[in-house]
Each structure stands twice: as structure tokens, then as C-alpha cells.
Amino acid sequence: MKYTPLNASTYRQHRDGFKSHLTPGSLAIFQSNDIMPTNADGTMPFRQSSDLLYLCGVDQEETVLLIFPDAHNTAHKEILFVKETSEEIAIWEGAKLTKEQARELTGISTVHWISDFHKMLPALMAEARSVYLNSNEHTRAKVEVETRDARFGKWLREQYPLHNYERSAPIMHRIRSVKSDGEIKQMQTACNITDKAFRRILGMIKPGVYEYEIQAELAHEFLMNRSRGFAYEPIIASGFNACVLHYIANNQECKAGDVILMDVGAEYGNYASDMTRCVPVSGRFTERQKEVYNAVLRVMRGAMNLLRPGVFLSDYHVQVGKMMEEELLKLGLLTQEDINNQNPDWPAYKKYFMHGTSHFIGLDVHDVGLWQEPIKAGNVFTVEPGIYIREENLGIRLENDILITENGFVDLMANIPLEADEIEALMNA
């Protein structure tokens, strides 16, 4: 693998956290993701199940993890099944993990080939009182393809209909939302790579450059620093394109006088970073552009200071809305009458700031987390306010990733240029 994985002690820590939430006598089963087809004999790049990766670090297909803390046989308290390398696989794809490599990576002593899984399962099921199955329960997920977890769960219920089945997802959302030291290090590395890439492109942006050329420069820097690439489909949006929130065509020419909104982030070790910066194509903001830019920056900094342990995200978003309301009044985009007559379910500021300010980030860009519980130390959030003025062909969004601590926060992107004056200076150096 390109990246340095977490150490085995961290994966043990993650599994111990999961075990602490299981009911007595429970067996939990986690499946790897499938390799998904494209067309003909093509396949998509493999992306491991975030939950399985979190618990053991194995980043290859056809992997199964069993966690059975109360198993009578101590060798069965944790069992890992991995794909055995055949001569053909070694020639065409490269060797898979050996059993010893799997033990060293994961800290799991009992490792079997995946071909042994169905041989061992009946005895384990006979001993288990409850079975925890995993599924993608992200609130924004739209799953139309049957996953390996779903396929296995359906088969297991047919074979063992009288067992009691439980959900692993609520536990995983809870423990994954609080990042361990090793995870924070991976995320900081992803942010540092993103910093390098952003500084790289500041020197090449000028009128006549195409959005995809900027994307290419970013990708080059990501790959040169052992990132697999973008943590999500990048947005390189110049001019009016910046007012399209999920613009990903990235195929337009950047023109003099326009501002480019870049929502990009490197992935490192399967951990995401998520940054947004806005820069002037001509190297300097107009007075109006800088006025809007600084308004967004003030909201961003104000929002960061609101995120602390004990705060509810629902309350936080209301307070950020109030900050944005004040800025839009100063910019002349809203009037006091607009605010007095607004619909409480869709406040007036939403005309120019339609999306949420923060989301969890980690193994997934929109990571799992506890939206209905107070913020905890160890949570990592994006902070990304924006103002989108379609009639002015201007969209400004600024975004950093911040780690919540007991006494405040640490900005993981503190070193990435953010002030308008600093960006102009770097572009004209």
C-alpha cells in the first residue's frame, strides 16, 4: 500500500471500544466491500468498508472479521479471514496478505483463509446468543446496489432464522465519531498534502487556464505525496459555476475578473480532508469580491469558536445562521424587512447560504457521527460557510477541518493560506 497504516495497538483500541457496547454472548461479523464492475472486464478502484478498515486495517477484498468476546475458545474471541494468494493471483494482481502479515497489521492472532469461513461459522453460531450485523446507515446514504454486508446478512438470516440479530451501525457511529490519536495523525497528513497542492496551483492560475488543468495539478501533488488522490469528486468552479453547489464538470475556461471556488481534499490512508478556497483568476480580488470574501471568513471564524464540547449541532447551525444574517445585511443582500417577514422554516439568509455549515469527517468525507447528542472532544468537523450571489456570478465558500478538544479546537488546516491578502501575495509572488 502507498500509505503507512495505523499501528496494531490502535486497531486493538478500536475493537475494544466496539466490544464494550456488545451484549453478553454476542458475535459480530464484518464483511469487506466488493470489487465493483464497470463494463466489459473492467472494475472500479477498490474502496474498503470503512467499518472493517477501522477495526482491523485490512485494505483488501474478500476479508471477514469476527468479534466474539465471550467465546469459550480464546482463539475465537477475534478471528480474521483473508484471501489466500494463488499462483495466478500473484502473477496477475500481486500477492495478498500472508497470515503473518495480517497478524502484524491487525494485532489479531487467529487468522484463517477465507475458504475456511463457512466451515467454522456453524460452531460459532451455535455458541452465540446474539449476532451483530453491519449495514450502511448513514443518514444521507442512497444504497441501490446490494453490498456484501447486505448479501451476507440476508443469507445468514435464512440459514439461522431463530437467532437474535442486532445492528452494529449505531455502535460504529458512536465510536468512529471520536477520533483516536492515530486517526488524527492520518487526517493531519491528508490536510498537509492538501496544503502543498493548494500552494502549487496558486502560481499557475491566470486568465485562460481551464478548470481541469487546475484539477490535474492538484492530482499530481496528491499522488506525489502518497495520497490515493481526491477524497471526493473535486469542485473547480469559476465564475457562475461557483453558484452551483455540486458543480463537478470542471471543463470551463477561467476568465479575467472571475473568482474560482475550489472544494478539494486529499485522502491519506483512507482518511479524508475537505478544504474549500476561493481565489481570483486575475490574481487580485475586486473590492466587492473581497468584501464578500471577508464576510464569509468572519462567519467561518465565528462558527469555529462555537464548536466545543457540550454544544448541540442543531443549536450551532441556528447561531451560524444569525451570523450570516448580519453579514448579508451589511452586504446589502438582505433588508431588515426580508428578515422580519421570513419563513422560520426557511430563513431569509438561505437565499444566499443554502447548505449546512459543518459535518463530521474521518474515514468518509461525510463521516458517521451522533447528530442528536452533544459535541465531544475528539470529534472532527468541517466548517464551511458560503455566500452565493447568482446575479453577480460570484460564489464564495471557505472551509477548514477542525478537531474538537476539551478546551476548544485545533484547526487541522491552520497552515493553509486563508486571508485574501495572503492569497493575493502568493499569486503575485
Q: Which fold has domain 181-427?
A: Creatine Amidinohydrolase (3.90.230)
For residue 163, name the pLDDT band (cuts at 50, 70, 90): very high
The percentage of residues in the chain with a pLDDT greater than 90, rounded to a whole number, is 93
Neighbours of 343 (CB within 10 A): 8
Cβ atoms 345, 338 nearer than 8 A: no
Over range 196-205, report the average pLDDT: 97
Cβ atoms 24, 70 nearer than 8 A: yes
What three-state secondary structure class fits 4? Answer: coil
Given this model, what pLDDT does residue 141 score? 86
For residue 91, name the pLDDT band (cuts at 50, 70, 90): confident
- The stretches of 148-256 forming alpha helices (DSSP H) are 148-159, 169-176, 181-202, 211-224
Residue 46 has pLDDT above 80, yes or no: yes
For residue 85, name the pLDDT band (cuts at 50, 70, 90): confident
Given this model, what pLDDT does residue 22 score? 98
Given this model, what pLDDT does residue 86 score? 82
Residue 1 has pLDDT above 90, yes or no: no
3-state helix, strand, coil in the chain (%, to 5): 40, 20, 40
Domain 8-176 has CATH 3.40.350.10: yes
The percentage of residues in the chain with a pLDDT greater than 70, rounded to a whole number, is 100
Residue whose C-alpha cell reads 422580519 in the numeric block: 340
Q: Is the dihedral of CA 396, 400, 401, 405 positive or negative?
A: negative
Residues in the chain: 429
Burial of 255 (0-12, 13-18, 19+ CB in 10 A): middle
Which of 135-149, 203-217, 263-277, 328-342 is the least confident region? 135-149
DSSP assignment of 348-381 equals GGGGT--S-S--B-SSSSS----TTS---TT-EE
The domain spans of the chain are 8-176, 181-427
Residue 135 has pLDDT above 80, yes or no: yes
Neighbours of 176 (CB within 10 A): 25
Given this model, what pLDDT does residue 144 score? 85
Cβ atoms 371, 139 nearer than 8 A: yes
Domains 8-176 and 181-427 share a fold: no
Given this model, what pLDDT does residue 192 score? 98
Strands ordered across the beta sheet of 259-264: 235-238, 259-264, 275-280
Is pLDDT larger for residue 73 or for residue 90?
73
Given this model, what pLDDT does residue 270 score? 97
**Which residue type is seen at 185?**
K
Give the CA-trace dihedral at 338, 343, 347, 349, to 10 degrees: -30
> Each residue of 179-190: pLDDT tens digit?
999 999 999 999
Residue 332 has pLDDT above 90, yes or no: yes
What is the Cα–Cα distance from 390 to 244, expressed in whole angstroms? Answer: 9
Over range 293-313, report the average pLDDT: 98
